[in-house]
Amino acid sequence: AFSLLRIVNTEKYFLSLPVNHRALLKSFRDNLDVIRTCIEKNNYIIKLIVKDVAYMFENVTHTMTCSTNQEEKGGFHQSVPSMNDQDKVQVTLKQFVRDWSEEGAGERQTCYQPIIDEILSHFPAHTAPHDVKVLVPGAGLGRLAFEIARRGYTCQGNEFSLFMLFASNFVLNKCRDINMYTVYPWVHQYVNNMRLGDQTKAVKFPDINPSVLPPNAQFSMTAGDFLEVYVEENEWDCVSTCFFIDCASNVVAFIEAIYKILKPGGLWINLGPLLYHFSDAPNEKSIEPTYEEVREVIDGFGFKMEKEETHVKTTYAQNPNSMLKCEYESIFFVCRKPSEESNGPAAFTGDTASALQGEDDILMQNGSR
């Protein structure tokens, strides 16, 4: 409703302009109709995404009933969304581009492939990949975790945002073919458009069939706060973080948790900037150490740095046609938790959880404790 109201207000203002001004903007009003149609089509996709989300978690007892009250649908009370909620929906739509479209291949190559390459290098096929447990905190719509699982590793993605979890559940468990759906991720971007069709450009997803995984693949997604969900020490062979560690109000707590949950000899692979999402946020507290300070914290916990690259040029859900683009000079590093055995390799175990994946769907778990 908010998005459509903006169009109504813009149209009213346009009609208040002098006639000769309106005549010079021949396509403007027609384009508003195209934008309106794209918003309505996005809304259709959003309704598909949230359909039955009350039942998406495999380890939650479903006791809620669907109310006949018009204010409640699908077991959820509907309320007027905040501006923050609306922003998150728009971010989620753009995430479809980054994770599950042909248009996002460049970003995935830059941001995900270096992490995948390091995993393949340190845990090659002859080590029995299914015995290697890889955790991907801040998994978003799950493409990085999916790609790791697709290569035979036991992989679990973790995500805190319900917006991302709803969307990842839709892609991973509801999409069974290539390019089944279409979204208009830039339709809310009213500025810095070069051409008339840039704002209403369609993007199809998914670019691959997410249901196609190797036999007996172990892949799951958990919902919840990373610091609360993952408390078991010496549990993971590898933790892969991409655009994640700056999501913490206290980045030191994230680094400490990663160190604890890694097995002796385990790897932490990280790529991303230090945007610090809680910085200057209303009613939020945050620290924003420099990378130099973060590096000292990493060393202080005992990690041994094996690879470190700075000024790695990356983007995040970037509109390729926008006149305004944001580029990060990210940090990419690989560090190891010291092995109990001097100079020994990461200790693989055969204790992978057999319940990580259901027979058909990607298991979605509520990780709240």
Q: Go through the domains of the chain in sequence order and give each one's CATH number.
A: 1-51 (no CATH), 104-177+211-366 (3.40.50.150)
What is the Cα–Cα distance from 38 to 49, expressed in whole angstroms?
A: 17
Q: What is the pLDDT of residue 113?
A: 99
More confident site: 294 or 65: 294
Alpha helix ranges (H) inside 193-273: 226-229, 251-261
What pLDDT, on the 0 to 100 scale, is given for residue 58?
Answer: 66
Confidence at residue 345, expressed as pLDDT on a 0 to 100 scale: 37
DSSP 265-278: EEEEEEEE----TT
Instruction: Answer whether 308's CB lies under 8 Å from 333's CB.
Output: yes
User: Whose structure tokens read 């408390």?
Assistant: 231
Half-sphere exposure at residue 176, Cβ-oriented, CA atoms within 13 angstroms? 4
Structure tokens at 7: 């169009």
| Residue 322 DSSP class | B
What pLDDT does residue 126 have? 76
The Cβ of residue 193 has, within 10 Å, a number of other Cβ atoms equal to: 19
Higher pLDDT among residues 354 and 216, named by residue: 216
**Could you give the CA distance from residue 259 to residue 303 in angstroms, rounded to a whole number?**
8
Residue 359 pLDDT grade (very low, low, confident, very high; cuts 50, 70, 90): very low
As a whole number of angstroms, the distance between CA 170 and CA 51 comes to: 9
The total of other beta-carbon atoms located within 10 Å of residue 306's CB is 14
- Assign 343 a pLDDT band (cuts: 50, 70, 90): very low
> Does residue 76 carry a pLDDT above 60?
no
Q: Judge whether residue 366 has pLDDT over 80.
A: no
Phi, psi (rounded to 5 degrees) for 157: -95, 145
Consecutive H or E run containing 2: helix 2-15
Interval 161-203: pLDDT, tens: 999 999 999 999 999 999 999 999 999 999 999 999 999 999 9
pLDDT of residue 83: 74
Binned at pLDDT 50, 70 and 90, residue 47 comes out as very high
With 60 as the cut, is the pLDDT of residue 50 above it? yes
In sequence order, the β-bridge partners of residue 133 are 154
Q: Determine the Cα–Cα distance for residues 54 and 75; give it in Å rounded to an integer.
A: 7
Q: Which residue has the higher pLDDT, 56 or 150?
A: 150
Average the pLDDT over 24-37 and give the result. 97
Determine contact, residues 238/119, Cβ cutoff 8 Å.
yes
Across all residues in the chain, what is the average pLDDT? Answer: 89
Which of 258, 255, 237, 236 has its CA nearest to residue 246? Answer: 255
Note the pTM of the prediction, 2 decimals: 0.89
Phi, psi for residue 50 in degrees, rounded to 5: -85, -5
Quick one: pLDDT band at residue 20, thresholds 50, 70, 90?
A: very high
The pLDDT assigned to 93 comes to 97
CA angle 164–260–159, rounded 5-degree value: 5
24-28, 57-61, 216-220: which has the minimum mean pLDDT?
Answer: 57-61
Tokens 């196609």, located at residue: 212
Mean predicted confidence (pLDDT) in 306-324 = 98
Determine the pLDDT at residue 344. Answer: 38
**CB-side neighbour CA atoms (13 Å) of 91:** 14
The percentage of the chain sitting over the pLDDT mark of 70, rounded to a whole number, equals: 88
Tell me the per-residue pLDDT of 269-280, one tens digit each, with 9 for 90 and over.
999 999 999 998
d(CA 170, CA 49): 6
Q: Tell me: pLDDT of 134 over 60.
A: yes
> At residue 147, does pLDDT exceed 80?
yes
**Mean pLDDT along residues 299-303:** 98
Say whether pLDDT at 135 is over 70. yes
Sheet with 219-223, edge to edge strand ranges: 304-314, 328-336, 262-272, 236-242, 133-137, 154-159, 219-223, 363-366
